Homo-oligomer: A and B are copies of this chain.
């Protein structure tokens, strides 16, 4: 009755999951739908930026050599032959003694090589002709934004696998990407298991609780950039469980169940995996919470059997599911970003196994500080809402005390890690 399971280290478990090849599909979306999606192609500069020499200010374009003798005692006057706004082009070459009134962003007229800022020129009209006078020299190149000074043609601006942020959107627009090739978002089904679970709208009953894990996971999946599918609750009935898991696994890219993976009499997932003839990658990990986390592969589809405890479920998703989602979207740093932080509260409990502690972050000057985000039993949901990171306390360590430097995995960062494990 009591099955013997051998725990493996967290890093090994993650490696096993990551070794299962993921479909990496792409699709085209309009730029306005591309925010938070992942680039599926390198973004290469199709032309220089700026695309031509231009004026960064409102002022007058001149030939610099015409200003070489100008001084307070020897003001030099130019005839203003034309006015060009951004988007317009000067109609003719500029001759000696001529200037062009030019607006920010407008293309530098031919022969001109300096811009006089508006404030440094005295403009006036006489006999319906416009003039301006300067009292100093303006050297060649003064106040000019040169073609390509920001970006040269052919520059790789962003690598595929980059998550699109507002700045990326600006770059894509600059080069005319009305449609962007992005990674397709994997679809992920979520079942909760357990006859004790009530639906959201149900009134409480003795011995029963509302399913919270599924709704948490749907948001975690969204945060990770994938598409969640709500599959409902599975009661503790083997045939129903088996059929619905099989049916769902055929429809989605990955399937998550929560609960039912332990060694209790009503933990049906191990039997479901067996009947499916799914390959179980592991069913015990040297970690707390979440030691019973199980992952199996069935017909190339990963079946994640997360613990039914809310905190273990939360950790299991971030450690095992999130990096697979990132990989299937071509991200090169698909894991949680790992940094270090200083403890501002003791965590006295010894750690026979790798322990993940839900925590909140703060800063004191430039020092990143960390503290548990509250009540820390693995069944506690109240601390989850304040959780923005996990502390990772290695197995085989005693408790930690205020001032200790600990590893921290960031949950809300867009950065990621290549491989946060030792």
B166-A35 in contact (CB<8A): no
A405-B365 in contact (CB<8A): yes
* Residues in chain B near residue A49, CB distance under 8 A: 381-382
Kindly state whether residue A175 has any CB partner on chain B within 8 Å.
yes
Q: Taking A107-B207, A381-B150 as contacts, is the C-beta distance between A216 and B314 under 8 angstroms?
A: no
Kindly state whether residue A283 has any CB partner on chain B within 8 Å.
no
* Residues in chain B near residue A339, CB distance under 8 A: 363, 366
Q: How distant is A78 from chain B, measured CB to nearest CB, in Å?
A: 17
Q: Taking A35-B223, A165-B385 as contacts, is the C-beta distance between A263 and B195 under 8 angstroms?
A: no
Q: How distant is A411 from chain B, measured CB to nearest CB, in Å?
A: 8
Contact of A86 among B85, B118, B150, B266 (CB under 8 A): B266
A26 to B412, CA, bound (A): 26
* Residues in chain B near residue A218, CB distance under 8 A: 32, 35, 169
Contact of A150 among B174, B175, B377 (CB under 8 A): B377
* Residues in chain B near residue A123, CB distance under 8 A: 1
Q: Taking A58-B263, A171-B384, A412-B414 as contacts, is the C-beta distance between A375 and B104 under 8 angstroms?
A: no
**Interface footprint category on A:** 35 or more
B207-A103 in contact (CB<8A): no
A128 to B176, CA, bound (A): 78
Copies per complex of this chain: 2
A200 to B34, CA, bound (A): 14
Q: Taking A31-B215, A89-B207 as contacts, is the C-beta distance between A264 and B366 under 8 angstroms?
A: no
B166-A212 in contact (CB<8A): no
* Residues in chain B near residue A105, CB distance under 8 A: 194, 196, 209, 308
Kindly state whether residue A99 has any CB partner on chain B within 8 Å.
no
Q: Taking A164-B219, A169-B215 as contacts, is the C-beta distance between A86 and B194 under 8 angstroms?
A: yes
* Residues in chain B near residue A208, CB distance under 8 A: 87
Kindly state whether residue A185 has any CB partner on chain B within 8 Å.
no
Contact with B along A93-134 (1 / 0, CB 8 A): 000000001011111000000000011000100000000000
Q: Taking A169-B218, A209-B51 as contacts, is the C-beta distance between A413 and B412 under 8 angstroms?
A: yes
B158-A385 in contact (CB<8A): yes
Q: How distant is A61 from chain B, measured CB to nearest CB, in Å?
A: 13
- Please, could you name 10 A-B residue pairs with CB atoms under 8 Å apart, sorted by A? A2-B118, A2-B119, A32-B215, A85-B195, A87-B196, A106-B207, A150-B382, A166-B216, A170-B216, A367-B367
